[in-house]
Amino acid sequence: MKLIVGLGNIGREYANTRHNIGFMMLNALSEAWDFSFKEESKFKGDLGVAQIGGEKVFFLKPSTYMNLSGEATDKVVNYYSITEENILVVYDDMDLAIGESRFKKKGSSGGQKGMGNIIECLGTKEIPRLKIGIGKRPPERNGKDYVLSAFSNEEQKAVNEVIKRSIDGVLFFIKEGIEKTMNEKNGK
């Protein structure tokens, strides 16, 4: 069993913002792999499930807002007894350029509050993740305004491409785990 968690904020006003790239990724996976999401109040989020490569995979979009994403993740992890190495968290990263992505096996949150809350709630930094670049924040903007801003048309094209490429990376993670995925998919 695997769990893919996409981080974002619920609500139409956040739908196409940089901070919602995790939701965008899960929506692309839903379309590519033909599964749908259902609101699950007991998990504090929208949950999808699919058989991928012979493996049961859950897909979670927390409805707790970004900074409390760990609450929803923890509920699904505990209910289905999913181990850390079988979780993949997808989220935005200001240290990566738009169009770049990187799989990591573990680490700190890097200032990403949703990932920080997941680390806190699960009690470990050993959580695989897929970071998708949203570009560096311009010096004249504060971080919150930047992550809640929409992509330009040109940026959105690069985002669509990295999401399209990342579908294959997520499939590779499901089949092979994080070590092989990092070796095979990072820097490509």
Catalogue the active-site residues.
Answer: 19
Return left, alpha or beta for 108; rule: phi > 0 is left, psi -120 to 50 is alpha, else beta.
Answer: beta
Q: At what angle do helices 113-122 and 69-80 cross, to 10 degrees?
A: 40
Return left, alpha or beta for 34; rule: phi > 0 is left, psi -120 to 50 is alpha, else beta.
Answer: left
Tell me the pairing of strands 2-6 and 55-62: parallel
Taking the C-alpha atoms of residue 166 and residue 118, their distance in angstroms, rounded to an integer, is 22
Kindly report the backbone phi and psi dihedral angles of residue 158, in degrees, each rounded to the nearest multiple of 5, phi listed first. Answer: -65, -40
Q: How far is CA 24 from CA 17, 28, 107, 135, 138, in A?
A: 10, 6, 23, 16, 23
Taking the C-alpha atoms of residue 173 and residue 38, their distance in angstroms, rounded to an integer, is 24
Nearest to 123 by CA among 184, 56, 74, 67: 74
